[in-house]
Amino acid sequence: MERALALPAPAKLNLFLHVIGRRADGYHDLQSAFALIDLADWIDIEPRDDGELHRSGDLLGAPDDDLALRAARLLRERTGIGHGADIRVTKRIPAGAGLGGGSSDAATTLIALNRIWATALPCDRLSEIAIELGADVPFFVRGFNAFAEGRGERLTPLALQPAHYALIWPQVHVSTQEIFSDRGLTRNTKATKMSDFSAAGDPGPWRGSEEGSEQARNDIESGRGEVVARVLARFGANDLEAVARRRFPVIGEVLEHLGRFGPARMTGSGSAAFAVVADEAEARDAVAGLPPGWCGWAVRGLAEHPLVAWQVHWSEVRTRIR
């Protein structure tokens, strides 16, 4: 069996996030647009013949709660494989930031072990295993920017043009469960159709508020983020943002800072937020000289997950988004 070193587990941004309603199973029905970015954790995996699974490197919380280790155990359980692995994770994506770091670690582990252990599960089957680990994990397994529905597991590919982002995390850990259970959370946003979302990226007739439309027009004329900037300025919102800002006012400060550089929005349940900017230089300007305790990155969107070539039947997905 081959070993796999320095495998990327990229973060994601929610270009918007709508809470449509609460489900009978206690989860929420959501709609969102997921965009991959080049901020990534790094995972090294080496096979073991003794059947042992060992986790090392940066570890947040108890080992048994680690999503990468849980992913390895679940894949072995579902396939009956008797092999083991040493899994080492080097964290760069902060936890509790809304960037999907733990979910991405789990997905990269599944993709890698599916190859290393020669289980050869097709992408659809691997995604079915992934949803047992968390709602965002199938997105990272499939590896394409996507319009997401349900808990986040129903995915339609999106052909987003890679954009530059200024990303800031104020080092506040936000509990997703606490945000979703807050009584002040709006849970009745009107559902949209995929065609409505696609139209938001179309440079045709302007819609939405005069201020938002003017911002989007300026973004396009200056080459700032193109499709992504139009989507942020003209479509949707993050329904979790108001609750997160009330609980953690520093998120509002971050958004105010980023708003001076381009359309800004919180990602996931927070506390990280991002702005779409013109180029890498402007992204670096936006994250330079930040207040003490704030962490910033100049990042770029990805057209697809770096490990798509390792997926089985990926060609079918690639054809859909051309």
Ramachandran quadrant class, 270 (left: phi over 0; alpha: psi -120 to 50; beta: rest):
left
Q: In the beta sheet, which residues pair with residue 44?
A: 88
Helix (H, G, I), strand (E, B) or coil at 29: strand
Closest CA to 98 of 301, 275, 238: 238
Structure tokens at 208: 């939405």
Q: How far is CA 59 from the centre of its chain?
A: 20
Structure tokens at 75: 């894949």
Residues noted as catalytic? 12, 136
Q: What CA–CA distance (Å, rounded) separates 18 from 21? A: 9
Angle at 119 between CA 118 and CA 120, to 5 degrees: 90
Residue 72 in contact with residue 85, Cβ under 8 Å?
A: yes
Q: What CA–CA distance (Å, rounded) separates 150 from 172? A: 27
Sequence-separated (6 or more) residues with CB below 8 Å from residue 141: 107, 110, 111, 123, 126, 127, 130, 311
Helix (H, G, I), strand (E, B) or coil at 291: coil
